[in-house]
Amino acid sequence: MTTELTADDVTQARSVNFRDKDLYRLLRTLFHDPFSTTAAIILIVLVIVAIAAPVLSPFDPTAQSLLRRLTPPAWVEGGSEANLLGTDLLGRDMLSRIIYGTRMSLMIGVVVVVIAGIIGTIIGMLAGYLGGRFDAIAMRFIDFQTAIPYFLLAMTIMAAIGPGARNLIIVLSLGSWVIFARLARGTMLSIRHAVYIEAARVTGGSEYWILVRHALPNLTSTIVTLATLELSRAILTEAGLSFLGLGVQPPNSAWGLMVAEGHDYISTANWLSTFPGLMVMITTLSINVFATWLRKATDPVQRGRM
């Protein structure tokens, strides 16, 4: 009994093979860059920590014990092995709060990037493809919002509507979508008269089909790279607003909030602010390093040089 392969089967097999080869090339490029590999490993570990926070956390991050307040880290004189990174001013375990702070910070950053990326990409693609009045109105609104400093805009709106994780996600999404819109519009303007777009239009393809099937794949690499960079900015902004009391509120754990809670004790209990501050620095630095590699790896010209 023989089975005949159709042309679609052959095409699908070839596409899968090409995708496997592309993935192999990306991984090989990544492993040849020790800084990018280290950044990728750190980000993977942070994601695992955020997902498995209830399992990895040795204590309840909100459990208080005034008898154990301001216990130093285990390697410092007076420290306890039960509290590896010490305790805060209410006796809460610092390691547990940092683990749950990882979940909170990454969750807010990822949700903000997804919402802003979807809204901004759709508006930017439509503005660049349709042009005319829609493009003019969208760009004037984008220019107006871009003229206002991002952090100042977020701080003003948060002060008006009140702090909280949900409000923070909404505000940061409203402030980030314009970056995606400008990039998507610029790329769309450069490809809307390309040969393959014109060919799809001549063959009777609908506007929706042209945008999704032909235009969007050409935006994917740049949008993904921008999303990685925006994730870093969202985490930094969340930490800054939480430090000012306009972001995540107690008893929740967030890195910026933990830095704010410990800044009054910086001379006597520096671990309260040092560890969460290091987490913000390491996370954002790793994201930026990985985003730099991703931009080069997805650009054919840069990839050839690499």
Dump pLDDT digits (tens) for 42-68.
Answer: 999 999 999 999 999 999 998 888 888
The average pLDDT across 243-264 equals 89
The pLDDT score that the predictor gives to residue 305 is 57
Q: Which is higher by pLDDT, 179 or 206?
A: 179
Band of pLDDT at residue 120, cut at 50, 70 and 90: very high
Show the 3-state SS of the chain: CCCCCCHHHHHHHHHHHHHHHHHHHHHHHHHCCHHHHHHHHHHHHHHHHHHCHHHHCCCCCCCCCHHHCCCCCCCCCCCECCECCCECCCCCEHHHHHHHHHHHHHHHHHHHHHHHHHHHHHHHHHHHHHCHHHHHHHHHHHHHHHCCCHHHHHHHHHHHHCCCHHHHHHHHHHHHHHHHHHHHHHHHHHHCCCHHHHHHHHCCCCHHHHHHHHHHHHHHHHHHHHHHHHHHHHHHHHHHHHHCCCCCCCCCCCHHHHHHHHHHHCCCCCHHHHHHHHHHHHHHHHHHHHHHHHHHHHCHHHHHHC
Q: Which two tokens stand for residue 305?
A: 């040089």
The pLDDT score that the predictor gives to residue 9 is 41
The pLDDT score that the predictor gives to residue 179 is 92
Band of pLDDT at residue 263, cut at 50, 70 and 90: confident
Residue 11 pLDDT exceeds 80: no
Band of pLDDT at residue 299, cut at 50, 70 and 90: low
Band of pLDDT at residue 22, cut at 50, 70 and 90: low
The pLDDT score that the predictor gives to residue 285 is 94
Q: Rounded to two decimals, what is the model's pTM?
A: 0.84
Dump pLDDT digits (tens) for 66-88.
Answer: 888 889 999 888 888 888 999 99
Band of pLDDT at residue 202, cut at 50, 70 and 90: confident
The average pLDDT across 13-39 equals 68
